[in-house]
Amino acid sequence: MIDGSKNRFNHYLGIEIDELNENGCKASLKIRPELYNSIEGVVHGGVTSTLADVVMGYAAAPHVNGVQQCVTVESKINYLAPARGERLIAESSVIKRGKRMIIMEAKVRTVDGTLVAVATGTYARISTDR
């Protein structure tokens, strides 16, 4: 697991970065009742969207010393099935990498392989120097 401890929101949700390379990222999230929407047992869509955004952002510009190096410019998600079960797993891949802008894709699945959502996003590299 890759340390993402400086991202308090990811830590709060319980997102774990499992793999990261120049072509993509894989992360997972243990499903728990606090993450359900009003339908018992179904994860809120905002959690699914966040997980997709995290794997796309990590792969677009990997963190340096735990600090993100890009921001989301835009994102779109298609929900395909209810997110249920024990864990969600998201994997991203680079569609196109420019000098400043990176286009990403992510797929979110349940442990049994059910495709829950497909997302795309545009990310901009930033300088964290102040």
pLDDT digits (tens, 9 = 90+) for 35-48: 999 999 999 999 99
The domains of the chain are located at 8-125
Fold of the domain spanning 8-125: Thiol Ester Dehydrase; Chain A (3.10.129)
Enter the pTM of the model: 0.92
- Whether the per-residue pLDDT at 7 is higher than 90: the answer is no
pLDDT digits (tens, 9 = 90+) for 71-88: 999 999 999 999 999 999
| pLDDT of amino acid 66 | 76
pLDDT digits (tens, 9 = 90+) for 18-28: 999 989 999 99
Average pLDDT, the chain: 92
| pLDDT of amino acid 26 | 97
- Whether the per-residue pLDDT at 5 is higher than 80: the answer is no
| pLDDT of amino acid 63 | 75
56 Cβ neighbours under 8 A, 6+ residues apart: 25, 72, 75, 92, 104, 105, 106, 119, 121, 123
